[in-house]
Each structure stands twice: as structure tokens, then as C-alpha cells.
Structure 1
Amino acid sequence: MIASQPYDPLAIWRAMADQASGVSPSALLEVQAQAAREWSDFWLAAWGLKPPADAPRDRRFAAPAWSDDPYYRALRDAYHLASRQLKAAGALGAGGSNSNRAMVGFLLDQFLNAVSPANFALTNPDVVARTLETGGQNLVNGFQHLVEDVMAGRGIVRRRASGDFVKGETIAATPGEVVFQNHLFQLIQYTPTTADVAAEPLLYVPPLVNKFYMIDLQPKSSLVKWLVDQGRTVFVISWINPDDRHRDCGVEHYVLNGIVEAIDAARRAAGTEKLDLFAFCLGGTLVSVALAWLEAQGRSGEVNSATLIGSMVDFADMRDWAAFVNEAHLDALDAHLARRGFIEATELQQLFAAVRANDLIWSSVINHYLLDKPAPPSDLLYWFEDGARIPQAFLRSYNRDLLFSNALREPNGFAVGGVAIDVKTVTTPMLLIALKDDHVSAWEAVYDGARLFGGEVTFVLGGSGHNAGVINPPAANKHGYWTNDAQPDAAAEWLAGATKHDGSWWPFWTGWLDAHGSGEHGPARAIENGIEPAPGSYVAIAH
């Protein structure tokens, strides 16, 4: 039997043909003429007859030899010039859908990333030096690493780090206990470290793609530990890694049997009428749905506020990800999922790695196949590799209704448990935090989604990317963030009028929570009726 694929290869060819058919001959001729002029300037600069053009910032070419040695500098500059020209030519096609244009751009990026001179032994100065140093043993060992990865059959380059992490000991180690569980999640409550705590507890809703503990990495960078030390009672949802038994668990199950049930359990454990929600990425999209459901049921008073971090509600602008939201691809994915009832974590990891190929694929190729050097230990990359499956029913509903149809943008465009969902009815105070260099949820798209809610909405823009921008402890004093009390129609206009602040947005967030809370404090909440210690057994399920 031929293995199915989670995409339609014919749709890829159709996208390329569609893009090519929209190219104007005159526009192509103009690009070619410009390319000829640029290559003439390049060769004059290569021979020292005119100053070279400034090279773009690119971490792949950070070694001094890429700038100091004429041979490597010429390779670098030729690669950048050819890349820029190919992208200009690829953008000429005016016809076709956003999905097709995004697919062509994605394929071109994959090609250009792959042919970088940094990825080849003879054109990377670090690899040449390493080969001379070891007498070629680095390439022998690197080939062995390549064979090991091919034989593993996972379709990914395994990251070989010089150290490892142990869940519950060196990572995801904030003390706490599981206080509730069902077939979809465990609810963790963390042990207080202050005598008094804020009246409103916090409940975190993570996405389904990876395990929950991105917000509980090493103690020095753990958002959970920092919040607990600030006098907050923190609860966290730890989703189960689903298998065939969960194939029929769709979005409504994760909203009702997941988020809503977790709200009930956390309120009972904390002995409070209401709590504050916070969520990341896909978790924030689900929280938006849950808030609209609670509003429709007359239960909005159970949530005091909601904070969504890097979360999209309006999917009109998905950037590179639009390449995969194509009806032909969705049909192929449905057929692919029907056999097992879920998508494998490795398949999701392959997709995310391809979108960030230089950071998540080619850097490891260079380190492990060419240099034969271990990568430095990274708690964030360890978390990234600890993926989880997603059930068939969830992906079908999420992809077709929320992404492809953009149902949350329309009043009553989606339903959960027979209840129409309209995020415009949500009046819960909300804080939406976007990340400026986010490659998953473009900050402008997050801003557009913020305007769909019906109540008070505050928008903040943090620095850095989708994951690293969240893990921003104040002690590190990194990245910065932007605020603006105005909410103009355009995201660019918001940024133009925004104020830049140094450091982390975490203290701003807790200040916002204080301003929207009761202001009351009480004795720290002791954990009662614990089931097992944090991080719980669901986070360890990999089979």
C-alpha cells in the first residue's frame, strides 16, 4: 500500500503553473534587465573596481571569513543577490489565490535555504577549517549522524545537544500537583511561595501542538515560577497526547470538555467565583470561542479577564501558512488522517521546521553533519521537539471552519455544542499580546483579530518571535515592548504612534491584571486533594 500524504502534490504543481501564467512578459523583461545590471555591479565589486554593496544581516554568514576573505565574501554576496532576484521574479505572477502565491513563495524559500553556500563543506569556511583540524574525521562522523537520522525514519534532523533536560527536575520543575483530570487534560495547581495571593487565580490554556511547559522551562526563565513568586495562584491545562481513542474529539470537545471544564475545576480548587484566563497561540483561539460560548450561556461572569498571547482570531492574513490552507491540501489531509485518527507529532514538527528551515533544519545539518559538533543545550528547543498529536476531528473542524472559512470573523459563523459563536458579544476585558517577529501569528493579523471583540481590548506588541518573545523574564532585560492607547484601523498606524519600553512585558501584564481585578488578597491557597505531583503523567505520554 502506498502511504498517504498530508498534502496534495498536484496542488503544488497547479500553484506553480497558476503563478507562472500570470507573469507579464514586459515585467519579466524588466526584472531580467535589472538583474543584468546588478550582476555587472557585483563583478566589478568582486574584482575591487567599485565598493561592494552592504550585505544583509544573516546569521548564517556570521563567521569573520564571510566578510574578510574575498572568496567567501563573493560566495555570500552572489547568493544574496541571486536570492533577491529569484524572489523578485517569483513575485511577478499577479493571478491566482493567496494560497497559491504563498505556496510558490514557500517552495522558493525552501530551495534558496537549501542551496545556501553555508550548507556545503567546500563553501563554508568553518567546515573547511574543521576538516583540516580533524583530518576529515568530522565528515566521517557527520555521515554516520546522517545515516542514523535516515534510519530513524522520522524525516527530521535530530538535534544533538551537549546536555539534556529531565521533566520535573531541570525543566517543567515548578512544584505543584495535578488536582483534576479527564480524558482530555490534567489540571495542575502550583504550590504558593508567598504568604498572600491575589483573589483571582490564573488559568493557562496552551496550544495542542506541543506540551504545556513552554511557560515552565528552566527556573530562571519560567513564567509559571515568576507568576507564583508574584503572589498569583496558577493553574495550567496539560493536554493529553491523543491517540485513536480521541479521533472524534473536535474543537467543541476541547472547548467544552477542556477549557470550560478546567474553568469549573480551577474555580472549585481555588474557592473563587471567577478567574483570569491566559493562553498562547492556538490556545488563545480556543479561549476566544470559549468566551463567546460562556457569554451565550449567561456564564461570562466566571472569567474576570482574558489574555491572549500570539493568538489569531481573524485568519484573513496567514502569510506563509496560507500555503497549506488550500482545499486540495485539506482533502488530502482528511484522507491521511482517516487511517490513524490523528496527525503524528513528527509530521507537525516537519511542517514547523520547514517554515523555519534555517534555524530548525540547516543549522543542525551544519553542526551535526559537517562540523560534528553538539549543539548547545536549549530548553526551548527541547520543548519544541517534545511534540504532541492532534485528533482528526479537531484538525478537520479547525482547518476548514476556523482557518479556511475564517468563521470567527463572521457573527454566528461557528457553533459549539449547538450554541452559535459570535466573538463580538464577548465583553470580558481582554489583553492581546502580539510578538513583533512572530512567524506563526503575524502581529498585524493579531491586531486585526483584537478588533473583533465587543468589550474593552488592550493591545501590546512584544519584541522577538513566536516562542522566544513569550519567554522574556524581567531579569534578562531583553526584547522590549510597545504600547499605544489608541486603536486605529491599521496595525502600521498603531505602531507608528506606539511608545517603546525596555525590558519584559511580564510586569506590564501583571499590572494590567491588578487594574482589572478586585484588588483583594488573601492567604495563599494550599493544594488539596492532589492526584500526583506536577508536571503530571499526561506530559510524559509519547506513545
Structure 2
Amino acid sequence: MTDNAQPAFPTLEDWQHWTLVMGKAQQMMMEAWADGLGKDGVMPWTSAFAFGAPPVAGEAGPGPATGSGDAMGLMAAGAQAWVKGLEAWSHVLAGDSANKRDRRFAAPEWTQDPIFNTIRQSYLAIADRMLGTVEQMDGVEPAQHAKLKFAVQGFLDAMSPSNFALTNPQVLKKTMETRGENLLRGLSNMLRDMAAGQMTQSKPGAFEVGKDLATTPGKVIKETPLYQLIQYTPTTDKVLKTPVVIFPPWINRYYILDLTPEKSMVKWCVDQGITLFMVSWKSADESLAHVTLDDYVLRGQIDAIDTVRDLLGVESVHTVGYCVAGTTLASALAYLQARDEAAKVKSATFFTAQVDFSEAGDLKLFLGDEVVNLLGQLTAENGYLDGRYMAATFNLLRGRDLIWNYVVSNYLLGEEPPPFDLLHWNSDTTNLPAGWHRDYLETLYRSNKLVESGGISVDGVPVDLTTVTTPSYIQAGREDHIAPPQSVWKVMDHFAGPKRFVLAGSGHIAGVVNHPSTGKYQYWINEQPCGTLESFIEGATEHKGSWWPDWFNWLKGLGGDTVDAKGARVPGKGKLKAIEDAPGRYVRER
């Protein structure tokens, strides 16, 4: 061979060989992945069917109909179907679907190569037909119809030809260029995730809590078996007299509100002159197996409220409840109202929180009897639920972006995900007390008892949301798939006090965590009384950027008196001495 000889271009036989090898490797890896995770109990993000979404039976599709619940088997069968049966589907094509904005098919080969263009068009046409068939079904109960639609969408997302080395031109190209190194790296990535029990979504080691995230200066000034109370160091000479106490959801780490300094709501609040306190919940272990609603309301939220009132010598505090912590905060307000102690709370702010679960969105799809039974099996031994199960459930709600996207990039292309603080937080799971978690799902999500007068009791006291007169600021995310805006709006229907509703652009996280300096998104306000979300939207005025300044002005409108930022306003300088620096040890515990 001469020095200027060109390497031989792969023959058709070479191409076929590599394709078959990669198809087999893909099938083997996926089967090994499912088998490895199954040894310690099926991780819910491996299969939508594991959480009660019904199998798609009797539907024509890119693979055999099955009720087995084996998503990996469906995927392997689907890969073969795409290769062998494309011509059989060609008659359903209703024209080119290239105009569809779909990141899965962004590579030019999907439109420029005739074979992959046909694969893409076939898949999109079949997906449209299957989803259209579900939409047109009559005589199906709404709850069952929603489950079926979710299952079909999950099935179609899983069966996308982009998810298989055999039918993804980017993967084929990368494999030829690297001579298979990408698959070896992908296998290494997959084995690492199998050992950890969850999918990697942000570059490992890129962030450290207390160093890169949750860095706003402060001190832990109180610690109980359930929570740590953090007080943040003031950065202004004067601060609002009435402090703010934030209750994050116990199903997540609190630092979603204190990410990098450029995104931190905590830092922004302190810089506006707010004396700010944050509850950091303990990740559940055997010691918390017994906790109930009473614990989170009385020994959590109300205890923190009383602690801050006593520390600063103030009559009342502003409170914030995020997601499920907003649900329990509503319970706390009704409890205080019943005991004639409502004056302890000057205002309540709800970030994407629900009290009426009649329209609670896709999470209700995961609440069948089989799910409750599975939760009982998973938690019977130690009394708490591994937080990875909840994280996996939330990932399933956006499976295309939060699961299959990483299957392709991490496992097939062999890439490391880029560093992303929000996705690092998303993977930093918190364990949940099993009994209380099941009771929350049963009593609130399934039975919707909180909106019944006396439907639930706190410390033996029946509560009634319609008695709550505390001024409330209610924020919802327009694209929220966890707490849909129509569900969050229902707070407006139940509370009796003055209320301000804001609809923010984006979803459950980005709709809340939207620093004013970014200039991103928008929010809508309607100053006129509105009886429905629809009427609110119809007459709402759009405002560019973050809603945080609107909320801050609302707080000041309830009382703008200020005091010097000294004495007990400085962490550790009052009667409660500093235990340790923020962010504290609870947020680091696994």
C-alpha cells in the first residue's frame, strides 16, 4: 500500500455487518440495563407501565402489541420492526413532516438521506395516527382515557427510531468515525448509572453544594429531627420588619431557590432587604418513618414560624410554600384560623402549589392501586421511600427530554452531559417518609379531602380552607406539567382572604426560578376580579421578565416598615446561636 493510498470505503457487506453488530449490542445493553436495575426493584424510570399506565393492546404500531410491561423488550422488538417493516407503513404517509420542530430529528441526515427520511416520516405519521386514534375514542372514562393517552405517548417516545443505534444516522456516523469507541464510552456511562440507580443528567462532579450551589451566606440557627432552620446574613443596612420564612417541598432539596448566585432567589431576596429564613428538611431515614401531616404542619412549619417570631420579637411573619409544602402550608393556615392564631402569619405565598386535586394533572396517572401496593412493598422494610423513585416519576412526565434524550447522548453517542446546575439539583434526591407519602397520595391526590370542610384534621382539629383570611399571593406556571395552572388556580376558589394571582411563563421550576437579571420569560396579571382562570387569562396584561419584583412590591404593600439589620437580624447574634454555616448538613445527607 502506497503512502497516498486512500482507505477502502466500507462495502455494503461491511455496513450490514456493523449495523447488525450495533443492533445486537444495543439490545444486549438495554437488557443488561433493565436486568441490573431490576435486582434491587424496578426503577420506575425504566418503564411507564410499572406505574399503572395501561399497555397499548390491539393498536397497530411499530412493534408487536404486548401487555407484559417489558419496555426494553418493546424497544428491541421495535428496532427490528423499523428495519424490516418500513415499506408496510409507507401508505400511511400524509406528506413530509419535516416542518415539525422535533429535536430528535435535527441532524441533516434525517431529511437528506432517503432511507432515514423515510424512517422519520413513517414514525411521525404513525405517531400522529396512534395519538389521533386515542383522542377520538368514545365511551372511555376520562381517567382511563388520560392513562391510555399517557401510555401511548410514552410508548411512542420509547419507540422513536432516534433511540436505537440501528436506526439513528448520528450514532452510525459516530460509530464509524470512532470505530466503536462511542459505544464503549456509552457502555461505561450506562454501567455507572446502573450502579447509582439513576440516569446522569449533568456532568458528574461539576457542582458541589456549599461551594458552587447554595452559597448565600447564612447560619443554621436551629436543628430538630425534622428540619434545620437557616437564617441568611443581611446585605443591606435596613431590612423589612416582617421576616420571610420559606418552606421548600420535602421531596426536593431546598437549594432550587439558591442555585448559582446569578439564579438564586435567596440571594435576591436578601439583597432587597428581606430578613430571610429557609427550612431545610431532613432526608428521611428510619428515624422519620413515623412522621405524619401533623409533624410537617406542627413540628415543621408552625414550629419554624413561632421560632422566628420569638427570635425577632415580631407578631407575624410572611410565609412561602413551594409545591407540596404549599399544600401543607394551606393546612397550617386553616389550623391557625381554627385556633384563633391566624395573626401569626401576615401573608402566605404559594409557588405552584395545589390544595384542590380534582384537576391535578399527569401525576394522578401514577396513583392506581398497583402503585400504592408497589410503594408499600418498596418501603416495608425501612419505612422510607428512596427518593430516586420520585425523581424517576417526575422524569417520566417528560420522558422524551429527561430520559430518551440521555439514552441517545450518554449511552449511544458516548457523550458526557454538560454541567447544568438545575439538572444537578434534579438528580440530588431526597428520601420520603413512607407512611406520610402514601397518606398524602391517598388523602389528598386520590380522595381530595383537603377541600372538604373537616375532611382532614391537624392535631385533632378539623380544618376548613374556606375560613382562611390570610392575604395570599398565588403563582402558577403556564406550562407546568406537575401542578397545572388550572389546578393551582383553585386556591382562589377556596380561600376567603385577599388574593393575588400571577401566571408565570414556563413551568414548575423555570417559572419560579427566574431571576430578574436574565430578562427571560414573562408573567400575566389581571387586576380585575376573576371567577375563572379563563377569565383571568382573557383580561390579563403581559409583563416581560420575572414576577419576583411584583411579589416583593406586594409584600411591601402589606407593611413596608424597616428596622436596622443588627442584633437578632444577624444570624447567631440573637438568642439562637449559630450551629453551623449554611447550607447545613441536612441538605448534604443522602
Aligned residues: 515
> Mapping of 1:164-313 within 5 angstroms?
164-313=206-355
Q: What does residue 49 of structure 1 align with?
A: none
Distance 2:514 2:40 in 1: 42
The question of 1:81 aligning with 2:125 is answered yes
CA offset digits 1:164-185 (Å, max 9, x no partner): 1111111011000001111100
CA offset digits 1:388-422 (Å, max 9, x no partner): 11112211221111111101221111111001111
Q: CA deviation at 1:16?
A: 6.5
Q: Which of 545, 552, 560 is 1:503 aligned to?
A: 545
Distance 1:408 1:327 in 2: 21
- Contact 2:356–2:490, Cα closer than 8 Å, also in 1: yes
Q: Which of 496, 519, 525 is 1:483 aligned to?
A: 525
The question of 1:324 aligning with 2:331 is answered no
Distance 1:310 1:494 in 2: 17
| Alignment-mate amino acid for residue 134 of structure 1 | T
Distance 1:454 1:160, change over 3 A: closer
> Mapping of 1:344-493 within 5 angstroms?
344-493=386-535
CA offset digits 1:173-207 (Å, max 9, x no partner): 10000011111000000000111111111111011
- Contact 2:391–2:427, Cα closer than 8 Å, also in 1: yes
Distance 1:101 1:370 in 2: 34
TM-score, normalised by the number of residues in structure 2: 0.82
Distance 1:17 1:424, change over 3 A: farther
Distance 1:433 1:537, change over 3 A: same
Q: What does residue 150 of structure 2 align with?
A: 106
Distance 1:493 1:167 in 2: 43
Distance 1:18 1:363 in 2: 28
Q: What does residue 75 of structure 2 align with?
A: none
- Contact 1:412–1:422, Cα closer than 8 Å, also in 2: yes
Q: Which of 541, 560, 564 is 1:519 aligned to?
A: 560
- Contact 1:87–1:108, Cα closer than 8 Å, also in 2: yes
Distance 1:273 1:406 in 2: 33
Superposition RMSD on alpha carbons, in Å? 2.7
Unpaired segments ≥5 residues, structure 1:
21-37, 46-51
Q: CA deviation at 1:157?
A: 2.3
**Please, which moves more after superposition, 218-227 or 163-172?**
163-172
| Alignment-mate amino acid for residue 421 of structure 1 | V
CA offset digits 1:355-404 (Å, max 9, x no partner): 22122211211111111222111111111111111112211221111111
Q: CA deviation at 1:326?
A: 2.5
Distance 1:141 1:475, change over 3 A: same
| Alignment-mate amino acid for residue 198 of structure 1 | L
Instruction: State the secondary structure of the residue aligned to 2:93.
Output: helix
Instruction: State the secondary structure of the residue aligned to 1:237.
Output: strand
Higher relative contact order (CA 8 A, sep 6+): 1
Distance 1:426 1:437, change over 3 A: same
The question of 1:534 aligning with 2:582 is answered yes
Instruction: State the secondary structure of the residue aligned to 2:262.
Output: helix
Q: Which of 42, 53, 57 is 2:93 aligned to?
A: 42
Instruction: State the secondary structure of the residue aligned to 1:139.
Output: helix
- Contact 1:412–1:420, Cα closer than 8 Å, also in 2: yes
| Alignment-mate amino acid for residue 334 of structure 1 | G
Distance 1:462 1:18, change over 3 A: farther
Distance 1:10 1:217, change over 3 A: closer
Distance 1:62 1:185 in 2: 46
| Alignment-mate amino acid for residue 563 of structure 2 | G
Q: Which of 123, 129, 136 is 2:167 aligned to?
A: 123
Q: CA deviation at 1:147?
A: 3.1
Distance 1:459 1:205, change over 3 A: same
Aligned sequence identity (%): 37
Q: What does residue 23 of structure 1 align with?
A: none
Q: What does residue 185 of structure 2 align with?
A: 141
Distance 2:257 2:363 in 1: 24
Distance 1:493 1:85, change over 3 A: farther
Distance 1:220 1:103, change over 3 A: same
Regions of 4+ moved over 6 Å: 2-11, 13-20
Distance 1:377 1:3, change over 3 A: closer
TM-score, normalised by the number of residues in structure 1: 0.89
- Contact 1:102–1:321, Cα closer than 8 Å, also in 2: no
| Alignment-mate amino acid for residue 581 of structure 2 | P
Q: CA deviation at 1:334?
A: 3.2
Select the structure of larger CA radius of gyration. Answer: 2
Instruction: State the secondary structure of the residue aligned to 1:339.
Output: coil
Distance 1:13 1:370 in 2: 27
Unpaired segments ≥5 residues, structure 2:
1-38, 61-88
| Alignment-mate amino acid for residue 277 of structure 1 | T
Distance 1:163 1:327, change over 3 A: closer
Q: CA deviation at 1:442?
A: 0.6
Q: CA deviation at 1:160?
A: 5.4
| Alignment-mate amino acid for residue 521 of structure 1 | T
Distance 2:110 2:210 in 1: 43
